[in-house]
Structure 1
Amino acid sequence: MTGRFARVLSLTAVLLTTVACQTGPADAAPAWEPSSGPGAAARHDVVTWGAAADQLGQGTADRGYRLVVHTSTAGSGLRVRVSNAFGDRPLTLDSVYAGLQSQGAALKPGSNRRLTFGGARSVTVPAGATAWSDPLPGNLPAGSNLAVSLHSPDATGPATGHGMAMQTSYITQGDHTAEESAANWTGTTGSWWYLDSVSVRPKNPDTGAVVALGDSITDGWASTSDQNRRWPDYLARRLQKADTEVKGVADEGISGNKVLADGAGQAALNRLDRDVLSQPGLRTVFLFEGVNDIKAHSGVTAAGLIAGYQEIARRAHAAGKCVVASTVGPFEGWPEWDPAGEAVRQQVNQYIRTSGEFDHIADFDRILRSPYDQARMLPFLDGGDHIHPNDKGMQAMADSVDLASLDCDR
């Protein structure tokens, strides 16, 4: 099928297939997309959305979740990864669907499609494990609001998910995953439950992804909810328009997260493999973290934090991935700021700028700081608490990234 023909297919036609396709083999290609031929074997999955896994309250039996996520790169063969990373017992999901959001919990008519796992409609994920769905026939455009609906008949114990989604999703009692109407999806949640990654298979076999490893700034705190204005969202929109092979973006920020110590989520060092290096199509790790280590007054030194950065770079490089590291942003005016912490921040930033440890650097400190007080954020970019940028600050950060730096090879 020609690329021109693929582009002119309507959104519904490309995402949907007939009922016969839904009940056929999970990995069968639709009629309009050949499953063999020149270049077919070279195609590969690339993450189009991701969120860091964390412990998220307690599971509830017979509850359904309709989780709204915003994709980055386009592709066919949609797959979702469900996570029981923090569970202490097996998690059963007996119904999982994927569709396109229309408004609120309502889906675009005809877009809701059942996902299978190893050909089965139900999956049981062992404690501490994850599971990928089978590929779903059809094409998913970039920048889609995808709604993944899932139901567990007997969930209990610690649940896995992402707490601060900055996105409204929906809950219900009972299994209403197949329904496209919002009628039974009357509850809301600001978290993503059990879902931590979505991948597609881009048409260009050289397409790759960047994964942002960070804290609440990367997670989007102080950006506008339900508008996809986190800095990785702005970056994803730039990448879609750019002449680059990096198109996928996964946001693996956790509010309050640290490089060295567990607390608000596992430390970056402890979650690197699961949240970052496991993402399909990963080409570049974007490291922007450290302010929580500094402001916690837990005795973290510049040397200790630098050692943490070096370990992340070493492990990413050993996996064949590039690393872009950003300087730590200003935070004078935040209650935990003090001159001693500021001295550590300056030492760390000097190391990031000059060490040569990383493949490339981004200087978010320079973008965010006031020219009149370099320890303080520029008021125009300040979300109000002097540590988290607002929407304009998020965009300024994303706009400052050298896109060519993300397209490196090792």
Structure 2
Amino acid sequence: MRRRITRGARLLAVTVAAAALQATPAPAVVSPPDGVITWGTSAYRIGLADADRGYRMVVHTSVGGRDPRIRLSNAFGDQPVTFDSVYAGLQLKNADLVPGTNRRLTFDGSSSVTVEPGATAYSDPLPGKLAAESNLVVSVHTPGGAGPVTGHWMALQTSYSTHGDHTAEESGTHWTETVGSWFYLDAVSVRTAAATGAVVALGDSITDGWQSTTDRNRRWPDYLARRLQKAHTTVKGVADEGIAGNKVLADGSGPSALNRLDRDVLSQPGVRTVFLFEGVNDLKAHTGVTAPDLIGGYRQIVDRAHDAGKCVVVSTIAPFKGWPEWDPAAEAVRQEVNAFIRSHREEFDAVTDFDRILRSPYDQERMLPAFDGGDHIHPNDKGMQAMADAVDLNSLNCTRH
């Protein structure tokens, strides 16, 4: 167990591949229920709603437990959204479910729920067990449709859509449209032993998994989750709260890390540690962001997390020479920030050096070719696994008082 009480900055690198999406002020969040988050994703505005639409979404759990519950989000909507039918089951293949597993979820005992603009809603616990590393399928139907949709654009997971309400069906016959996003669903939690905790990865497109293989759960937080399930540690839950193009200081691809910290991280149940890996999008945007600016942003995140009783692990910013927006000025800021992180470890609960893991020994401003997903900023599957393998699991099992 590691315990530190100093405050500090932290943070990391990563990156972007998606176009900027409209951000809105951080909405109010509901206090988390008991339990531990087993899957999570960052919500933002991803399009406009469509009436009489069904979504069958596949998510991969980390920690196992009992009595799972989901969180539906209308954080970026400007009108109420009604979900008149919500089911959860286990994936058999594609949109087909394991027979006998698809069951209705309720909300305060009701089969339907209306979520107001800016709000989220937790389902009631669904009695039974949910295994670690299983593919949970959540099916929702929205009878009405207007205004912005809250969801996660780059899921790197094939899900399904349909017109009409087919949520109760275990067959995938009516779920003929494939989609690469998650809609409205942003968290799944389970009840576990009281000592069990979770880590939330707060990042950009590298954490979001861009350049990892779709449908194979090969983002670095996925590899980390598999390590944790096998390890002798009480930290078992993992939530991937990465957004492609996200910045620490400015809104753009979703709200900034500072503006989404409460909803995406601190509101999740059972969170013990925040893993902060973000910052490359701030410095490569050429908006004049300096190393002190980024460090100041990291410090705000660390202070707020510490005030909430969470530990913070920070990573250095990874190399990205060869990406079109790289230039010596941005590289100089990256080097200055990384030097600060390495030399001020006492400000964080722990440090992970993704820069050293990913960089080439022949040109330390570039990613090692064997880890490069092809665009010189996003690691491939092998690079994602190397990142997860570099995390000291003991650093995540941290306690603050």
Structure 1-normalised TM-score? 0.89
2:99 is aligned with 1:109: yes
How do residues 303-314 of structure 1 correspond to structure 2 at under 5 angstroms? 303-314=292-303
CA distance in 1, matches of 2:290, 2:80: 40
Shift of 1:44: 3.9
Which residue type is aligned with residue 323 of structure 1? V
Is the Cα contact below 8 Å between 1:258 and 1:289 reproduced in 2? yes
Distance 1:397 1:126 in 2: 39
C-alpha deviations, 1:172-205, integer Å up to 9, x for none? 0000000000100000110000000000001x21
Alignment of 1:193-208 (within 5 A): 193-202=183-192, 204-208=193-197
For 1:292, the equivalent position in structure 2 comes to 281
Which secondary structure does the structure 2 equivalent of 1:250 belong to?
A: strand
Distance 1:95 1:308 in 2: 41
1:137 is paired with a residue whose SS is coil
| Correspondences of 1:20-99 after superposition (within 5 Å) | 44-99=34-89
Is residue 2:396 matched to residue 1:406? yes
Q: CA deviation at 1:133?
A: 0.1
Q: Distance in 2 between matches of 1:357 and 1:89?
A: 42
Aligned AA (1:283): R
Q: Say whether residues 1:317 and 2:345 are aligned partners.
A: no
- SS of match in other structure, 1:292: helix
Counterpart residue number, 1:332: 321
2:280 alignment partner AA: V
- Measured against aligned partners, the alpha-carbon deviations of 1:16-61 in whole angstroms (never above 9, x if no partner) come to xxxxxxxxxxxxxxxxxxxxxxxxxxx9410000000100100111
Residues in 2 aligned to 1:291 and 1:172: alpha-carbon distance in whole angstroms: 38
Aligned residue runs from structure 1 range 122-137, under 5 A:
122-137=112-127
**Match for residue 142 of structure 2?**
152
Question: Higher RCO, 1 or 2 (CA under 8 Å, sep at least 6)?
Answer: 2
Give 1:241's aligned residue: 230
Matched, 1:166 2:156: yes
Tell me, yes or no, if structure 1 residue 382 matches structure 2 residue 372: yes
* 1:238-297, Cα deviation, whole Å (9 max, x unpaired): 000000000000000000000000001100000000000001000000000000001000
Q: Distance in 2 between matches of 1:112 and 1:219?
A: 28
| Equivalent residues, number | 367
Q: What SS does the corresponding residue of 1:212 show, helix, strand or coil?
A: strand
Unaligned runs of 5+ in 1: 1-42
The separation in 2 between residues aligned to 1:404 and 1:65, in whole angstroms, is: 38
CA deviations on 1:117-171 (whole Å, 9 max, x unpaired) are 0000000001000000000000000000000000000021001000000000000
Letter in 1 for 2:220: W
> Which amino acid is 1:384 matched to?
G
Mapped partners of 1:351, 1:289: distance in 2: 15
1:177-188 matches, within 5 Å, as 177-188=167-178
Measure how far apart 1:353 and its partner are: 1.2
Q: Is the 8 A contact 1:44 1:205 kept in 2?
A: no
User: Cα deviations across residues 72-114 of structure 1 (Å, max 9, x unaligned)?
Assistant: 0000010000000000011100000000000000000011010
User: Do 1:151 and 1:175's aligned partners in 2 also have CA atoms closer than 8 Å?
Assistant: yes
d(CA) in 2 for partners of 1:197 and 1:152?
18
Q: Which residue pairs with 1:176 in the alignment?
A: 166
Which consecutive unaligned segments of at least 5 residues does structure 2 have?
1-32
Deviates more, 1:181-190 or 1:348-357: 348-357
Per-residue Cα deviation, 1:335-365 (whole angstroms, up to 9, x for no partner): 0000110000001011111212110010000
Q: Matches of 1:247 and 1:98 in 2, distance apart? A: 22
- Name 2:5's counterpart in structure 1: none
1:270 counterpart residue number: 259
- Of 216, 238, 261, 2:250 maps to 261
Partner of 1:227: 216
Work out the CA distance in 2 between the residues paired with 1:118 and 1:351: 48
Q: For residue 123 of structure 1, what is the amino acid of its counterpart?
A: V
What SS does structure 1 have at the residue aligned with 2:276? strand
Amino acid at match of 1:305: L
- What is the match of residue 348 of structure 2? 358
CA–CA separation in structure 2 for the residues paired with 1:354 and 1:255: 29
* Aligned residues with identical type, % of pairs: 72
For residues 373 and 385 of structure 1, the distance between their equivalents in structure 2, rounded to whole angstroms, comes to: 16
- In structure 1, what is the Cα distance between the partners aligned to 2:303 and 2:105? 37
Q: CA RMSD in A?
A: 0.7
Normalising by structure 2, we get a TM-score of 0.91
Mapping of 1:211-222 within 5 angstroms?
211-222=200-211
